[in-house]
Amino acid sequence: MKLKCEIERVAAPGSSANTAPCELAVERLVIAGWAGRDRDDVEHHIRELEAIGVRRPASVPCFYPLAAALLTTGARIETVGAQSSGEVEVVLVQTASDGLVVGIGSDHTDRHVEAYDVTVSKQVCAKPLGRTLWRYDDVAGHWDALVARSWRIDADGTRALYQEGTLARLLPPAELIARGFGGAVMPAGTALFCGTQPVLGALTPAAAYELELHDPVLARSLRHRYAVDALAHEA
Protein backbone atom coordinates (compact mmCIF):
# COMPACT_ATOMS: atom_id res chain seq x y z
CA MET A 1 0.00 0.00 0.00
CA LYS A 2 1.57 3.32 -1.10
CA LEU A 3 0.32 6.69 0.13
CA LYS A 4 1.50 10.13 -0.97
CA CYS A 5 2.20 12.20 2.15
CA GLU A 6 4.51 14.93 3.40
CA ILE A 7 6.84 15.17 6.39
CA GLU A 8 6.82 18.42 8.35
CA ARG A 9 10.01 19.40 10.16
CA VAL A 10 10.45 22.22 12.66
CA ALA A 11 13.64 22.95 14.59
CA ALA A 12 12.41 24.90 17.62
CA PRO A 13 9.36 26.72 19.05
CA GLY A 14 8.54 29.76 16.94
CA SER A 15 10.60 28.66 13.95
CA SER A 16 8.94 28.10 10.61
CA ALA A 17 8.21 24.55 9.52
CA ASN A 18 9.27 23.05 6.23
CA THR A 19 7.72 20.09 4.49
CA ALA A 20 9.05 17.50 2.10
CA PRO A 21 7.02 15.03 0.03
CA CYS A 22 7.25 11.35 0.89
CA GLU A 23 5.63 8.13 -0.19
CA LEU A 24 4.59 5.76 2.57
CA ALA A 25 4.98 2.13 1.60
CA VAL A 26 2.89 0.28 4.19
CA GLU A 27 2.90 -3.50 4.09
CA ARG A 28 1.57 -4.23 7.56
CA LEU A 29 -1.16 -2.53 9.62
CA VAL A 30 -1.67 -3.19 13.34
CA ILE A 31 -4.23 -1.63 15.69
CA ALA A 32 -3.41 -1.48 19.42
CA GLY A 33 -6.51 -1.80 21.58
CA TRP A 34 -7.02 -0.95 25.25
CA ALA A 35 -3.60 0.71 25.29
CA GLY A 36 -4.07 3.09 28.24
CA ARG A 37 -1.50 3.54 30.99
CA ASP A 38 -4.09 4.09 33.68
CA ARG A 39 -6.13 1.02 34.56
CA ASP A 40 -9.16 3.18 35.38
CA ASP A 41 -9.07 4.77 31.89
CA VAL A 42 -8.78 1.33 30.30
CA GLU A 43 -11.69 0.08 32.37
CA HIS A 44 -13.74 3.12 31.30
CA HIS A 45 -13.20 2.32 27.62
CA ILE A 46 -13.97 -1.36 28.19
CA ARG A 47 -17.27 -0.38 29.80
CA GLU A 48 -18.06 2.01 26.92
CA LEU A 49 -17.80 -0.95 24.57
CA GLU A 50 -19.56 -3.38 26.91
CA ALA A 51 -22.51 -0.97 26.85
CA ILE A 52 -22.92 -1.66 23.13
CA GLY A 53 -22.41 -5.40 23.48
CA VAL A 54 -18.62 -5.81 23.03
CA ARG A 55 -17.11 -8.55 25.16
CA ARG A 56 -14.43 -7.71 27.71
CA PRO A 57 -10.91 -8.60 26.49
CA ALA A 58 -9.03 -11.44 28.19
CA SER A 59 -5.92 -9.25 28.56
CA VAL A 60 -4.69 -5.78 27.58
CA PRO A 61 -3.27 -4.28 25.46
CA CYS A 62 -4.48 -6.20 22.39
CA PHE A 63 -2.94 -6.06 18.91
CA TYR A 64 -5.15 -6.56 15.85
CA PRO A 65 -3.44 -7.26 12.50
CA LEU A 66 -5.37 -5.81 9.56
CA ALA A 67 -4.98 -5.40 5.82
CA ALA A 68 -2.66 -2.51 4.94
CA ALA A 69 -4.98 -1.63 2.05
CA LEU A 70 -7.46 -0.21 4.59
CA LEU A 71 -5.30 2.88 5.09
CA THR A 72 -6.53 5.94 3.20
CA THR A 73 -5.64 9.62 3.11
CA GLY A 74 -8.87 10.41 1.28
CA ALA A 75 -11.53 12.83 2.48
CA ARG A 76 -14.34 10.25 2.44
CA ILE A 77 -14.87 6.65 3.44
CA GLU A 78 -17.79 4.32 2.74
CA THR A 79 -19.31 2.05 5.37
CA VAL A 80 -21.96 -0.67 5.34
CA GLY A 81 -24.90 0.83 7.20
CA ALA A 82 -24.80 3.69 9.68
CA GLN A 83 -23.62 1.91 12.82
CA SER A 84 -19.90 2.77 12.62
CA SER A 85 -17.92 5.49 14.38
CA GLY A 86 -14.41 6.93 14.47
CA GLU A 87 -11.70 6.94 17.12
CA VAL A 88 -8.82 9.43 17.01
CA GLU A 89 -5.43 7.71 17.27
CA VAL A 90 -1.77 8.57 16.84
CA VAL A 91 -0.27 6.44 14.08
CA LEU A 92 3.38 5.40 14.00
CA VAL A 93 4.88 4.32 10.67
CA GLN A 94 8.32 2.77 10.35
CA THR A 95 9.77 3.94 7.05
CA ALA A 96 12.90 2.80 5.27
CA SER A 97 14.11 6.31 4.40
CA ASP A 98 12.80 8.63 7.14
CA GLY A 99 12.83 6.37 10.18
CA LEU A 100 9.85 6.43 12.53
CA VAL A 101 7.19 9.02 11.64
CA VAL A 102 4.02 10.15 13.42
CA GLY A 103 0.58 10.79 11.96
CA ILE A 104 -3.02 11.29 13.06
CA GLY A 105 -5.67 8.76 12.07
CA SER A 106 -8.98 7.18 12.97
CA ASP A 107 -9.66 3.58 13.90
CA HIS A 108 -13.09 3.74 12.27
CA THR A 109 -15.02 0.68 13.47
CA ASP A 110 -18.34 -1.02 12.75
CA ARG A 111 -20.00 -1.13 16.17
CA HIS A 112 -22.60 -3.72 15.20
CA VAL A 113 -19.96 -6.21 14.06
CA GLU A 114 -17.77 -5.33 17.05
CA ALA A 115 -20.38 -6.88 19.34
CA TYR A 116 -19.48 -10.36 18.06
CA ASP A 117 -15.95 -10.01 16.56
CA VAL A 118 -13.63 -7.08 17.29
CA THR A 119 -11.03 -7.92 14.64
CA VAL A 120 -13.64 -8.26 11.89
CA SER A 121 -15.30 -4.98 12.97
CA LYS A 122 -12.03 -3.16 12.39
CA GLN A 123 -11.28 -4.97 9.14
CA VAL A 124 -14.57 -3.93 7.50
CA CYS A 125 -13.89 -0.18 7.77
CA ALA A 126 -11.28 1.98 6.06
CA LYS A 127 -8.69 3.62 8.33
CA PRO A 128 -8.30 7.36 7.63
CA LEU A 129 -4.83 8.87 7.96
CA GLY A 130 -3.81 12.52 7.62
CA ARG A 131 -1.39 13.36 4.79
CA THR A 132 1.06 15.34 6.95
CA LEU A 133 3.47 13.52 9.26
CA TRP A 134 6.09 14.44 11.83
CA ARG A 135 9.42 12.80 12.54
CA TYR A 136 9.17 10.89 15.81
CA ASP A 137 12.55 12.23 16.94
CA ASP A 138 11.14 15.79 16.81
CA VAL A 139 8.44 15.00 19.40
CA ALA A 140 9.89 12.10 21.40
CA GLY A 141 11.22 14.37 24.14
CA HIS A 142 7.77 15.84 24.90
CA TRP A 143 5.56 12.96 23.72
CA ASP A 144 3.31 12.98 26.79
CA ALA A 145 2.41 16.65 26.22
CA LEU A 146 0.89 15.98 22.78
CA VAL A 147 -2.91 16.26 22.73
CA ALA A 148 -5.18 14.09 20.57
CA ARG A 149 -8.69 15.38 19.83
CA SER A 150 -11.63 14.54 17.63
CA TRP A 151 -14.87 16.29 16.75
CA ARG A 152 -18.02 14.70 15.38
CA ILE A 153 -19.95 16.55 12.71
CA ASP A 154 -23.62 15.72 12.24
CA ALA A 155 -25.52 15.86 8.96
CA ASP A 156 -26.85 19.35 9.80
CA GLY A 157 -23.30 20.64 10.29
CA THR A 158 -23.36 20.63 14.09
CA ARG A 159 -19.78 20.18 15.35
CA ALA A 160 -19.08 18.84 18.85
CA LEU A 161 -15.91 17.84 20.67
CA TYR A 162 -15.96 14.05 20.83
CA GLN A 163 -12.60 13.04 22.34
CA GLU A 164 -9.68 14.86 23.97
CA GLY A 165 -6.65 13.84 26.01
CA THR A 166 -2.88 13.92 26.21
CA LEU A 167 -0.73 11.00 25.09
CA ALA A 168 0.32 10.61 28.73
CA ARG A 169 -2.91 8.57 29.03
CA LEU A 170 -1.60 5.93 26.62
CA LEU A 171 1.27 3.48 26.75
CA PRO A 172 4.47 5.06 25.38
CA PRO A 173 5.60 4.05 21.89
CA ALA A 174 8.62 2.04 23.10
CA GLU A 175 6.39 -0.15 25.28
CA LEU A 176 3.76 -0.64 22.59
CA ILE A 177 6.40 -1.58 20.04
CA ALA A 178 8.09 -3.99 22.43
CA ARG A 179 4.80 -5.69 23.33
CA GLY A 180 3.45 -5.78 19.82
CA PHE A 181 6.58 -6.69 17.87
CA GLY A 182 8.99 -8.15 20.41
CA GLY A 183 11.78 -5.64 19.83
CA ALA A 184 12.83 -2.01 19.99
CA VAL A 185 11.97 -1.18 16.36
CA MET A 186 8.99 -2.06 14.19
CA PRO A 187 9.72 -3.74 10.86
CA ALA A 188 9.98 -1.26 7.97
CA GLY A 189 6.64 -0.78 6.25
CA THR A 190 4.62 -1.23 9.46
CA ALA A 191 1.89 1.17 10.61
CA LEU A 192 0.71 1.02 14.23
CA PHE A 193 -2.42 2.74 15.57
CA CYS A 194 -1.51 3.49 19.19
CA GLY A 195 -4.81 3.60 21.09
CA THR A 196 -7.57 6.13 21.54
CA GLN A 197 -8.91 8.65 24.05
CA PRO A 198 -12.13 8.26 26.07
CA VAL A 199 -15.30 9.45 24.35
CA LEU A 200 -16.97 12.53 25.82
CA GLY A 201 -20.47 11.10 26.09
CA ALA A 202 -21.61 8.02 24.20
CA LEU A 203 -20.16 6.14 21.22
CA THR A 204 -22.27 7.43 18.34
CA PRO A 205 -22.05 7.58 14.53
CA ALA A 206 -21.61 10.88 12.71
CA ALA A 207 -21.65 12.26 9.18
CA ALA A 208 -17.99 13.32 9.47
CA TYR A 209 -15.08 13.48 11.90
CA GLU A 210 -12.26 15.96 12.44
CA LEU A 211 -8.99 14.77 13.97
CA GLU A 212 -6.16 16.76 15.54
CA LEU A 213 -2.81 16.00 17.12
CA HIS A 214 -1.62 19.20 18.82
CA ASP A 215 1.98 19.85 19.86
CA PRO A 216 1.94 22.63 22.51
CA VAL A 217 5.74 22.71 22.72
CA LEU A 218 6.45 23.34 19.02
CA ALA A 219 3.09 25.13 18.55
CA ARG A 220 1.77 23.11 15.61
CA SER A 221 -0.92 20.55 14.80
CA LEU A 222 -1.64 17.65 12.49
CA ARG A 223 -5.23 17.73 11.23
CA HIS A 224 -7.48 15.57 9.10
CA ARG A 225 -11.19 15.58 8.32
CA TYR A 226 -13.15 12.83 6.63
CA ALA A 227 -16.80 12.26 5.75
CA VAL A 228 -18.65 8.97 6.21
CA ASP A 229 -20.91 7.74 3.41
CA ALA A 230 -23.19 5.04 4.79
CA LEU A 231 -24.20 2.58 2.09
CA ALA A 232 -27.65 1.04 2.12
CA HIS A 233 -27.75 -2.17 4.14
CA GLU A 234 -30.34 -4.85 3.59
CA ALA A 235 -30.52 -7.28 6.51
Residue 168: pLDDT over 90: yes
d(CA 225, CA 151): 9
Kindly calculate the radius of gyration of the chain based on its CA atoms and give it in whole angstroms: 17
d(CA 74, CA 55): 32
Within 10 Å of residue 205's Cβ, how many Cβ atoms? 17
103 in a domain, yes or no?
A: yes
Measured in whole angstroms, the distance separating CA 33 from the mean position of its chain's CA atoms is 11
Which amino acid makes up residue 48? E
176: CATH: 3.90.850.10
Cis bond leading into 57, ω under 30°? no
Q: Higher confidence at residue 56 or residue 150?
A: 150
Residue 162: pLDDT over 90: yes
Q: Which domain holds residue 112?
A: 2-7+23-231
Residue 12: pLDDT over 70: no
74 in a domain, yes or no?
A: yes
pLDDT > 90: percent of the chain: 75
17 in a domain, yes or no?
A: no
18 in a domain, yes or no?
A: no
Within 10 Å of residue 231's Cβ, how many Cβ atoms? 9
d(CA 218, CA 10): 8
Q: Nearest CA to 73 among 128, 125, 21?
A: 128
pLDDT > 70: percent of the chain: 97
16 in a domain, yes or no?
A: no
14 in a domain, yes or no?
A: no
Question: How many domains does the chain contain in total?
Answer: 1
